[in-house]
Structure 1
């Protein structure tokens, strides 16, 4: 097997000011990409996140407290998110562990029936680097989503945005066409693989409730303020005549056990209402962004 490419070999550097101006349909400035992440946390594994540190300061297994934190999101928080989006006519992308289709069919079925796009997110919530057979995990995830929805996923987000150097080749071979792990630009970029081209779609490591609330420990209102500040700036740049002009993509990422709790759900609802009041954005799923970008002629 040939040596895996480095990220800079797959995605050569291109300055934003050197990229051609591209346009969204209907004269819009920004494609807003909402992502809801639903995951399967196995009680026999270390928990992917902790909201409550063990009293001794040492990680314990089984970690019932943090497993239950996540389970609340699947039992209760998800349904608040579902109501917030469906009542406003917005269909987000669902970043989903393949095993959620098996273990939480009520959740996966509601998203499928509401027309949410399914984006592969590993089979269970463990880092890609911990998978003994990464290619088999990817194929298993794609098959689980295809069997449940009738359509294989077009997009992929690694658990915790984790990839090895070989991951893009494995994803492309499995039929994946876009990834969210490469958070490098405000518009899509092209990633070289051994099995054709992948697109990198602008996911986010900041307009994301995990780093903002659980790691940086900001108040909930920070999410709304930062998201609207991001959107304001991207829209202003998109319509300006300068070198940063042209259509942009903005994503925001949420999790049921964080944004779906009673003291934060109102913040998401206010954010969605503020965005809906604008006339310069599209709410798009990842596949819509992928398909549009391929028509722009942007070579980067």
Structure 2
């Protein structure tokens, strides 16, 4: 194989992949919020505690940091959101129901949403095991929520998600507004509520995150992150966009970070027409007013 042939093949493969994803991700061209709303802000919590730390076989110190999220962090964060009258979505692995049941009872009692985040923070490759994991996770969460679980943050198979009653996912940064995503066959549309890593607390406050080398890490000052997040929100506010903040109780549950989030919310409230729905509330608005319509090919 010549160098030129190799380059051509890689180019063709890249072009094919780009075309496929362009077809799979369909924007909502006439997207609007309810009357009197200029921007929706979702605050979402990945309440996985130490599960991912254990899955990656990280050192005991990292696991203990995750445990802090279930013992302390989640309670601090929920208290703050309740004081501000903001409802949040907790993307929760099913196994958390066994580890921190009182925290989930507290969240549900305050009107927060529970959504799927896999059984133990992984999606098995075997389809039968994947089905079993998702079924078990949803059943566990519904046992606390008392209502159907309709959302996920995962890479579960779209067809399987739809079979289990899941109507939205929040697992991509492919756009800045909600959109519909199809599977590789162009079927099984799922509403995506995208996030971006610039609004992910772990990117700023986690030393040793995902086994990253120490020289690539930094723990930033909360005031600096406040300004970054306010600027991101303000930019989306001006254009009538969307913001999805991805928080981890073991990260943002530290006292100074909870205070920073509270300051951020208070500042957001100084602007008119800011909506703080749960992901389920936003999804229901979109599915009712902007249902999926198959695009002509």
Bin for the TM-score computed over the shorter chain: 0.7 to 0.9
C-alpha contact (below 8 Å) 1:128/1:134 kept by paired residues: yes
Does structure 1 residue 32 correspond to structure 2 residue 28?
A: no
Q: CA RMSD in A?
A: 2.7
Q: Quickly say closer, same or farther: Cα 1:47–1:206, change in 2 above 3 A.
A: farther
1:190 — aligned with what? 180
Q: How many angstroms apart in 1 are the aligned matches of 2:26 and 2:226? A: 29
C-alpha contact (below 8 Å) 2:189/2:292 kept by paired residues: no
Q: How many angstroms apart in 2 are the aligned matches of 1:128 and 1:7? A: 25
Q: How many angstroms apart in 2 are the aligned matches of 1:261 and 1:130? A: 35
Q: How many angstroms apart in 2 are the aligned matches of 1:40 and 1:264? A: 17
Return the offset for 1:41.
2.6
CA deviations 1:29-65 (Å, max 9, x no partner) are 11100011211535xx85367xxxxxxxxx76xx322
Return the offset for 1:187.
1.6
Q: How many angstroms apart in 1 are the aligned matches of 2:19 and 2:172? A: 11
Q: How many angstroms apart in 2 are the aligned matches of 1:13 and 1:226? A: 31
Q: Quickly say closer, same or farther: Cα 1:13–1:222, change in 2 above 3 A.
A: farther
Q: How many angstroms apart in 2 are the aligned matches of 1:99 and 1:257? A: 17
TM-score norm. by structure 2 comes to 0.79
Aligned residues: 264
Return the offset for 1:123.
1.3
1:55 — aligned with what? none
TM-score norm. by structure 1 comes to 0.78
CA deviations 1:225-268 (Å, max 9, x no partner) are 22211111112122xxxxxxxxx221101111111112322111
1:61-100 counterparts in 2 under 5 A? 63-100=59-96
C-alpha contact (below 8 Å) 1:117/1:285 kept by paired residues: yes
1:251 is matched with which residue: 241, 244, 248?
Answer: 244
CA deviations 1:239-298 (Å, max 9, x no partner) are xxxxxxxxx221101111111112322111111111122212100111111111120367
Q: Hey, which bits of structure 1, 4+ residues long, moved more than 4 A?
A: 6-11, 13-16, 129-132, 297-300
Q: How many angstroms apart in 1 are the aligned matches of 2:25 and 2:159? A: 22
Return the offset for 1:85.
0.2
Q: Quickly say closer, same or farther: Cα 1:11–1:98, change in 2 above 3 A.
A: farther
Give SS of 2:98's match: helix
Q: Quickly say closer, same or farther: Cα 1:297–1:107, change in 2 above 3 A.
A: closer
Q: Quickly say closer, same or farther: Cα 1:46–1:170, change in 2 above 3 A.
A: same
Q: How many angstroms apart in 2 are the aligned matches of 1:192 and 1:65? A: 40
Q: Quickly say closer, same or farther: Cα 1:15–1:76, change in 2 above 3 A.
A: closer
Give SS of 1:273's match: helix
Does structure 1 residue 263 correspond to structure 2 residue 265?
A: no
Which of the pair has more CA radius of gyration? 2
* Structure 1 or 2: more helix by fraction: 2
1:128 is matched with which residue: 123, 130, 136?
Answer: 123
C-alpha contact (below 8 Å) 1:11/1:191 kept by paired residues: no
Which stretches in structure 1 are left out of the alignment for 5+ residues? 1-5, 50-58, 239-247
C-alpha contact (below 8 Å) 2:169/2:191 kept by paired residues: yes
1:225 is matched with which residue: 227, 247, 250?
Answer: 227
Q: Quickly say closer, same or farther: Cα 1:48–1:231, change in 2 above 3 A.
A: farther
Return the offset for 1:138.
0.9
Give SS of 1:26's match: coil
Q: Quickly say closer, same or farther: Cα 1:14–1:81, change in 2 above 3 A.
A: closer
